[in-house]
Copies of this chain bind each other. A is one copy, B any other.
Amino acid sequence: MSEASQQEAATEEDVYVLTDEFVRDVRDALDAEDEAAVSALIEPLHAADLADLVELVNRSERKALVDLIAPRLDPEMLSHLDEAVRDQVVDQLEPEQIAAAVTELDTDDAVYLVEDLDPETQRAVLDAVPEEDRTHLEESLEYEEDTAGRLMQRELISVPEFWTIGQTIDFMRESDDLPDEFYEIFVVDPVHRPVGTVALNRAMRTKRPVVVSEIMNADVKTVPVEMEQDDVAHLFRQYDLLSAPVVDGSGRVIGVIMVDDVVDVIDEEAEEDILRLGGVTDDDLNAGIVRTTRSRFTWLAVNLVTAIVASMVIGLFEGTIDQMVALAVLMPIVASMGGNAGTQTMTIAVRSLATHELTAANAWRLFNKETAVGLANGGLFALLVGVAAFVWFRDPMLSGVIAAAMVINMLAAGVAGIAVPLALERMNIDPAVASSVFVTTITDVIGFFAFLGLAALVLL
């Protein structure tokens, strides 16, 4: 092994501590019910890695593993679990254990633990946490899921504008009620509305007598508590924020959102787009067979309807196919190429809509571009497929028909690929969920209709 690749191997192992070998060792120890060996193996793991391990093992191993770690549970681990596994693990814990974890976590992570509990357990957990935490939790639970209210933590640091840096530092040194982590000091007016932020590095570089309002950044990006989480993510990404104050209806600071929570949101939103485009509505990796079958069924049922529609179009030309069976052989090519070209355009359109790169301002320009690209690739593939069909069936008229159908369908694919997502967006339907059904139905129907219809006209 060269030195470079040794270094690379070391690197991979540094990043992904759950190597296949490590997981195998843990599973062997779990299966052998060797608690000491399991404990020794998982002892050095970071909470996030332990959470990944809990997800990787199978259901019975998971149960044993959670039983083992429950007595001295790191609450952080729970907040790193994905939803399907979190539900299983939390079911296995006593309400008092959940309450202890909830009390220790920041509000946003605590809410994640209790939000999907059945009402009875949720009540039991809430009753077992100290009153102040309970009030915060209950308030947070009233905000809609996937909004700033759920993402924020209550723990934050704010100072009045007339304080000096010295006062601020002394306050931070003396107070023991500070959040675990904070990246900025919020400067607030007398009614607690944010008027500026001071980056910690700025504060540290500044001499003690300076007043905070002199060095604060007055261009505060505040987040209304009901803001959707993807808009929050956009704010952080666009303006490179580390944290942002969350304000209520009257503009008062009631919480703070941190960049690491937003990183998770960005991941989640991108993941959602990928999964929805693939016809999966839910991250079902760790879900059971029944739940997975059911969640995928809906999408397949919609596709069955569209497939039957395409078949009906073919049915219109039964007589034509009966006279020339080569049409049945070639017809899927036209539909399939249109489907793929449409998917390309649609993918770009859906993604650009999600990132707000495609707006009314450039929609028309991109529509024209996709039409042109559809025509260009349509022409190229008409030529290729025309030649291929001639080599195969030695019928110049048939070649001409498939070539013409190809141009028509690729053009339709470009137009539908951009028009469908734009239209869905305008109707407030998530383009990632619904675009591909419409686009492939259009390319199937037009593909079969153009090819078989032209054949009926020209060949028979």
Contact = CB atoms under 8 A, between A and B. Distances in A.
Interface of A: 7-8, 11-12, 14-16, 18, 20, 23-24, 27, 46, 48-49, 52, 55-58, 82, 169, 172-173, 178, 181-183, 199-201, 203-207, 224, 226-227, 231, 234-240, 242, 249, 259-260, 262-264, 266-267, 270-271, 273-275, 277-280, 283-285, 289, 292-293, 296-297, 299-301, 303-304, 306-308, 310-311, 314-315, 318, 321-322, 325-326, 328-333, 335-337, 340-341, 343-344, 346-348, 351-352, 355-362, 365-366, 369, 372-373, 376-377, 380-381, 384-385, 388, 444
A446 to B, nearest CB: 14
A173 B203 CA distance: 10
Given A11-B231, A332-B332, A48 B278 contact: no
A332 B310 contact: yes
A297 B340 CA distance: 11
A408 to B, nearest CB: 16
B204 A296 contact: no
A329 to B, nearest CB: 5
Nearest to A174: B205
A237 B259 contact: no
B172 A199 contact: no
Contact of A237 (B263, B307, B315, B347): B263
Given A206-B173, A242-B259, A330 B311 contact: yes
Given A242-B260, A318-B325, 4 more contacts: A46-B238, A200-B200, A277-B277, A332-B335
A11 B226 contact: yes
A260 B46 CA distance: 23
A181 B358 CA distance: 32
Nearest to A230: B15
Contacts of A200: 183, 200-201, 204
Nearest first, the 3 closest Cβ-Cβ pairs linking A and B are: A278-B347, A270-B270, A328-B328
